[in-house]
Structure formats: structure tokens, C-alpha cells
Structure 1
Amino acid sequence: MQKNLYYRTVFKRTNAIKEAMLSFFMALSSYPRLLLEVFIRRNFGERYFSFSGSIFLALLLGLYPLLKIGGLSLLRPSYGYYGSSFSFGNFMLHYASWYGFLLAFLVMAVRRNEEVKRLPSVFDFARFSLSSGRLHPRFLEFKIGDRRLGLRTIETLLEPAFFFLIGLVLWMFGQGIGLVLILCSIIYSLSYQAAYYQGDQFIMDKIDEMICNEELVKSFVEERDPSQTRGFNFYGRRPVNPETRRKVAETFLETEETVIAL
């Protein structure tokens, strides 16, 4: 594809603050997504799945209830559930599901790590190292009426809704892990919506650049109205001589080098 220097200079707007915030959010969402994806996806890319990150996340969440109890005990020596003294039974009543979930998470993380080891080498161009994995067949087969959902709907709505409902039920029964699942499912949905938004913007940039390439002569050289150039308009002064304009227009385009894996 030819690179249009005019388009990239004039039309391709960038918002540094917006892009920085989006990148920051995508980076932060990796752990909440990891906490859920190990249960419903498999065959992750080597650089997408982090086993060490899974261990760190499990340790962090495993320490949270203990640190919470310890911190509140320092503030209120008589602190316990509902204001009474500490009770191991009360603690397990609220956090047995928490540690049960973490144990299941570690088991699934080990399985996902073993899958990554068995996958073809990314250095032989056999595997995309940032693959987000293969979706569970149940989600792919899910139908509303007679219509199956698209991949975008599954990733942004169906998958997070599954964990959101589970979390909501657990939270209603006083289980702290339920709130974690609710928050992670919301971040999961938003992160995939952000990824699809970035993809949409990239495709529209490419389409607009192709239109710019195709309509450049009509707009710049022939001075046609935007209604005749699919909305594309040249902003700026033009040389008076049409042949000079044509020569100038040729300098707007550069050929991009493409690397093809053999």
C-alpha cells in the first residue's frame, strides 16, 4: 500500500492524552482479565499469558483478607466480624470461597502454562505470541433465538456477563470474592471494547488513506468538489499549472515496504 504523506500530516489526528490514558487502562486491565480468562480460554500466546503474573496475583489476593483483618485489628483491638472478637469460623464463612477461587485459579493457571509450552514456536512464525487464546466452545455456540453471537459481542458482553452474574450471586450471599468477580468482569468488558475501538480506528485510518490516494488527483489536480471525491477535500494552495500540480501530487505518495513471512 502507498503511504499518503498529505493524509498523515493533515487528517490523521492524534490525541496524546487520550492515547496515553487508553494505553494505561489496557495495561492495568491485564490482571483482571487474567483472573477470569484462565477459566474460559486456552492456548494463550507466549507473551500474552504470564504464569509469574498469575502467581503474583494469587499471592496478592491471598494476603488481602489477612492484611485487612490485621489492619483493622490495629485500629480497633477488639475488631472482629460485626464488632465481635476475631473468630476463625466467621473468617472462613466469608473467605472460604475466596481461597477456594484462588486455588482453582492457580490450578487453571498451571494448565494454561503447560499449554503454552506445548504450542508451536513463535520464532518459526507458527504462532502469534500475543494471542488472547481460544474461546470456550459454549460461548461460541450460544444463541439468542436462532442467531449465534458475533465474536465481538461474545468478548465484550457474553464472557464478562457470565462472571458478573456469578459474582453477583456470591456477593448477595456475603462472599467477598463476588465483588472481585463483578469488578473484574466490568474491566474485562471495557478492555475488550477499548481493543475493538482501537481496531476500528486503525481500519478507518487505512480506508481513509486509500480513499485519499484514489481521489488525490481529482481533488488536488482537477479541483473537483468533495461531492465528487467521496468527501475528500484538499486543504491548501495549489500551483496554477495543472501539470505542475500533477508532479507535486506524485510526491505525496511513498511506497511502504512489506515484510512477508515465508
Structure 2
Amino acid sequence: MKTKKINYRNRSTQIGRQNGLKLRLLGYAYAVSGFARIPIENIIRSKFGLRYFSFSSTILTLLFFGMVPFMVADFSHNPFQSYESPSFWQVIWDNLLLYIYLGVVFYFSLKRRKEIKELPSVYDFAMYSKCNGYINRKFLDIKFQGRFVTIREIETFWEPATFFAAGLLLALLGQSLGYLLIFCSVVYSLGYCAAYHYGDNNMMDIIDDTIIQEELMGVIVEGKEKEQSRGYSFMGNVPNGEDNRRRAANKMRGDDEFEDVN
């Protein structure tokens, strides 16, 4: 009887040099970017995947951002001063542009919700359920330094930069909406930078695994140096004798995937 074995999957024991602060910052941004994208992405993108867009998360996010001016007003009020804290309607009036914008986001969120219902079914394999939306054609038509910008550049720079510039202008004019747009655009950019960082590393892991599989026999059995094995080396002792080294290399590559248990 043949049964599948669990083989040791060889990976390089080299420790990569990493910027801990950068990784931590990207990790935090990636964790919170989901809700910070909503005030931007729901407006400029369309046709989200079924598992990417969440109407309930949108409502909670809009409610949270709508409560922030009231929290700021309460926090900034000094109870030892003679004047009273701003009334409900005074806070609304002072931040009117912010609430109008949140209303616009809500309107577009309703449109995105309707779009999802009209999209081809995920269960027919017709739509990726985690699609992060179709990019607006205006961004795809941007040319910079004589070429069209890439999707990566759009997601990490051009989309958030548009709202950052608008937010900066509004903040200089004393509008609270400006600070919301600045915050969301920065987190938006960092979140996508983190996503691409993780994607790059996943792809490099696949490439490195492929190189290991292709070079392992030469490194273990023949003792090839880095110059001959595309930089890969095995850090550790190897068995004595060519046959034993070959057997070990086959195990590490997973060539002996099945063993006889009789």
C-alpha cells in the first residue's frame, strides 16, 4: 500500500535584512486601511467583489467619522470655562461640508451595493469575490514621463494623492473634511503599499522555492558554489558519499512523495 509522506520542504536558512520599523508601519496601515479606504474607494471605484464590499462596514465607518467632530468638541471643551460646549446643531453647522461629503459617500455606497447584486454570480466562477473594484478610467489615462502610469502607481500614489491634495487645501481653509481626506488618503496609500509588499514577497518566495528545487541536487550532491547555483547555498552539514547525498536531496525535493507502509 502506498501512502503520501510529509516531506521536509527545504528553504534557505539565510536571514534576510529587514527594516522592522517599515514592516511595523505597513502592518498597522494594512490592518486599518479597510475602513480608511471606504470614504475614497466607494466614490472612485465600481464593481467590487462580493466579499470585498461590506455595506454594514460602510455604515459603521460613516457613523464613526460622523461622531468624530462631536468627540473633538467634547474633548476640547474646558469644564472650568464659563462658556457652554457647542450644541448638536452647532457642531453640524461647523462641520457641514464634512457631513455633506459623508452623505455623498453613502449615496455612492448604495450604488456599489446595487452593482454587486447585478454582477455575475461568484458561484458561476464569473467574478472574483475579493475584487477591490474597477479603477476609474481617468486614472488609467494618466501619462507621466511619457508613459501611462501602472496599476501599482495608481493605487499607491495617484488615487490617494488626488484626495490628499484636496484635503490639504480644505484643511488650510479650516474645513474638518480636509483632515478626514488627509488621514484616509495617507492610510489608503500605505495600505496598498503594504499589500504590494506582501505580494512581492510571496512571489519572491515562489521564485526562491523554484530555484531551490532546481539547484538543490547540484548544491547537495555536486557541491556547487553560489556562482554556479544562482546564489543558492545549503547552510548545514550534508551526508557522506554521493549516493547518500543524492538520497537526502531527493527527500528534500519531495521526489519520494509516497512510501510503502506494508
Normalising by structure 2, we get a TM-score of 0.84
User: In structure 2, what is the Cα distance between the partners aligned to 1:71 and 1:236?
Assistant: 60
Q: Does 1:212 align with 2:217?
A: no
Tell me the residue number matched to 1:150.
150
Q: Deviations over 1:206-246 (max 9, x none)?
A: 11111111111110000111111111111222222111211
Q: 1:6 to 1:67 in 2, by over 3 A?
A: closer
User: In structure 2, what is the Cα distance between the partners aligned to 1:197 and 1:254?
Assistant: 29
Q: Does 1:248 align with 2:248?
A: yes
User: In structure 1, what is the Cα distance between the partners aligned to 2:126 and 2:254?
Assistant: 31
Tell me the residue number matched to 2:11.
7
Tell me the residue number matched to 2:235.
235
User: In structure 1, what is the Cα distance between the partners aligned to 2:125 and 2:164?
Assistant: 37
User: In structure 2, what is the Cα distance between the partners aligned to 1:158 and 1:202?
Assistant: 25
Of residues 69-78 and 229-238 in structure 1, the stretch that sits farther from structure 2 once superposed is: 69-78
User: In structure 1, what is the Cα distance between the partners aligned to 2:244 and 2:42?
Assistant: 61
Deviation of residue 66 (structure 1)? Answer: 3.1
Aligned counterparts, 1:171-210, within 5 A: 171-210=171-210
Aligned length: 247
Q: 1:241 to 1:67 in 2, by over 3 A?
A: closer
Q: 1:184 to 1:21 in 2, by over 3 A?
A: closer
Of residues 24-33 and 133-142 in structure 1, the stretch that sits farther from structure 2 once superposed is: 24-33
Normalising by structure 1, we get a TM-score of 0.84
Asked if the contact 1:44/1:132 (under 8 Å) is kept, the reply is: yes
- Higher share of residues assigned helix: 1
TM-align CA RMSD: 2.8
Q: Does 1:28 align with 2:32?
A: yes
Tell me the residue number matched to 1:95.
95
Question: Percent sequence identity over matched residues?
Answer: 35
Asked if the contact 2:70/2:91 (under 8 Å) is kept, the reply is: no
Aligned counterparts, 1:61-210, within 5 A: 61-70=65-74, 72-73=76-77, 75=79, 76-79=81-84, 92=93, 94-210=94-210
SS of residue in 2 equivalent to 1:181:
helix
User: In structure 2, what is the Cα distance between the partners aligned to 1:234 and 1:69?
Assistant: 62
Q: Deviations over 1:141-182 (max 9, x none)?
A: 011243110111111010000000110111111100101100
User: In structure 2, what is the Cα distance between the partners aligned to 1:77 and 1:156?
Assistant: 48
Deviation of residue 6 (structure 1)? Answer: 1.5
Higher normalized contact order (CA 8 Å, seq sep 6+, divided by chain length)? 2
User: In structure 2, what is the Cα distance between the partners aligned to 1:206 and 1:12?
Assistant: 17
